[in-house]
Amino acid sequence: MSECSSSSHIKRGDLVVFAGNSNPDLAEAVAKSLGIKLGEVEVKKFADSEINVKINEAVRGKDVYIIQPTSYPTNDNLMELLIMTDACKRASAGYVNVVVPYYGYARQDRKTRGREPISAKLVANLITVSGADRVITMDLHAGQIQGYFDIPLDHFTAIRLLSSYFKEKAFDNPDEYVVVSPDLGGVTRARSFADYLKLTIAIIEKRRPRPNVSEVMNVIGDFEGKHCILVDDIIDTAGTICNAANYLKEHGAKEVSIAATHGVLSGNACENLENSCVKEVVITDTIKLPEEKKIQKIKQISIAPLLAEAINRINTYESISGLFEDGK
């Protein structure tokens, strides 16, 4: 998308975008797409690791956007977001919008056993109490987290961006491609991805004997002799997704690629991907990709133009509903 053009619409206030330390490159790209400079803020730590924030420009009455994925180190980045939000609110910002492309703790969205927390709801409460007026996020692990907030939340998806990467290849040979959901819970995501490319889907039935470990029990659908595109929201340790990819390859798949919104890539994830049969891994930049994790198999697509367009429309009171599915 080209640089956002100025609008004749009424504005909510002068636009200010601040970057936390989690993903400053993404924030810089968003600001560039908006045609503005990042706001001036200092985020430091005291000797005992307490976070200290200093907003170095006036925000009174302004429409403020704080871009901060709550990825690793999750707790530090979350506290940084909360403190920056509080600082802007206490400085009389007109609106404080928190842009959390990757929402940490999203996998703790319900109780599966007794005496468990619902941490995703706790984080929602913390963000609200810190003074946020709106939340902007992408591909929540569990869609119901939207309902944990009593303030407006805009939930975007990267499905269109990711599927576009495969569009030319799949368009020429649709019968040779199939979209695969790595589990029953991801069927809706895989179906949306497949619909954009007009492809069929297959579903992996698996079980989890313990966290981050899975066993493939069965595959529903035809995948033999085809290029499989495994679609997921998060790649964490990559153990589960690599296990699924290797199973597909061993049982007749021609090639296997992965498309996922959030490249968490914890622990030995990159090594697992390198040693697997996976041809390529397509992710977005919701989470900063360190140099040591930029392996040859990983291709990264930027969500900055989408976020910039959303911010521009919110700031000028334009409708953003068309962005939810289109992923422009």
163 is in an annotated binding site: no
134 is in an annotated binding site: no
Cα–Cα distance for residue pair 50/184, rounded to 1 Å? 42
Q: Which residues are catalytic?
A: 206
Strand order in the sheet with 213-220: 213-220, 200-210, 177-181, 227-235, 255-263, 281-284, 298-301
276 is an annotated ligand-binding site residue: no
Q: Annotation-wise, does 107 bind a ligand?
A: yes
48: annotated binding-site residue? yes
- How deeply is 21 buried, as exposed, middle or buried, from its count of CB atoms within 10 A (0-12, 13-18, 19+)? middle
Sheet holding 15-19, edge to edge: 15-19, 63-67, 95-100, 134-138, 153-156
Is 146 annotated to bind ligand? no
Is residue 232 annotated as involved in ligand binding?
Answer: yes
Tell me if 116 is assigned to a ligand binding site: no
Distance in angstroms (rounded) separating the CA atoms of residues 247 and 270: 19
Q: Please name the residue ranges forming H helices in 130-268.
A: 159-172, 187-197, 239-250
Residue type, 125: N
**50 carries a ligand binding annotation:** yes
Check whether 240 is labelled as a binding-site residue.
Answer: yes
In angstroms, the CA 140 to CA 57 distance is 32
Q: What's the rounded Cα separation, in Å, for the pair 8 and 28?
A: 25
* Residue 237 is assigned to a ligand binding site: yes
Query: Is-contact 27 307, C-beta < 8 A?
Result: no
Q: Is 204 helix (H, G, I), strand (E, B) or coil?
A: strand
Q: Is 183 annotated as a binding residue?
A: yes
d(CA 130, CA 132): 6
Residue 195 labelled as part of a binding site: no
Task: Tell whether 7 is in a known binding site.
Answer: no
Give the residue numbers of the binding site.
48-50, 107-108, 141, 183, 208, 232, 236-240
Give the residue numbers of the binding site for D-ribose 5-phosphate.
208, 232, 236-240
Give the residue numbers of the binding site for Mg(2+).
141, 183
Give the residue numbers of the binding site for ATP.
48-50, 107-108
